[in-house]
Structure 1
Amino acid sequence: MKIFTSILVLLALALIVFNVTQLDFTNPFKGDSGVALIGIAASFCAVLILLIFRISKKIEEKTNGR
């Protein structure tokens, strides 16, 4: 499960990097820049959710005595 979440985190980080390259910093809320901002926010949320999931699995393993 750790490998799977690591791959998903790396994919989400790659999406963040890709969307940053799509931003127009002079006008960040017009056209493709708005879509890129939404993509960055969504990818950041995905990373947070995956990290929370990984931490919860570690807690579960410690409480089950594995």
Structure 2
Amino acid sequence: MKIFTYILSAIAIALLIFNVTKLDFDSLFEGESVVALITIFASLCALALLQILRISKAIEKKSRK
């Protein structure tokens, strides 16, 4: 499970970096930049959820002991 979350985190970070390169800072809310902003937000949400999953698994592991 740990490796799986790290792989998904790496994919989310790669998507985040890729979409930052797609942003047009002169017109953020037009065309391809809107899609990039939405995908950046989704990547950040995925990273937050994966972090919550990692923390909950660590708590579960400690509570079993």
TM bucket normalised to smaller: over 0.9
RMSD between aligned residues? 0.4
Instruction: Map Cα deviations across residues 4-44 of structure 1 (whole Å, 9 max, x no partner).
Output: 00000000000000000100011111000000000000000
Counterpart in the other structure of 1:7: 7
| Fraction of identical pairs, as percent | 58
List gaps (5 residues or longer) in structure 2. Answer: none
Counterpart in the other structure of 2:53: 53
Count of residue pairs the alignment pairs up = 65
List gaps (5 residues or longer) in structure 1. Answer: none
SS of 2:15's equivalent in the other structure is helix
Task: Work out whether 1:38 is the aligned partner of 2:38.
Answer: yes
Q: TM-score, normalised on structure 2?
A: 0.98
| Cα distance between partner residues in 2 of 1:43 and 1:13 | 7
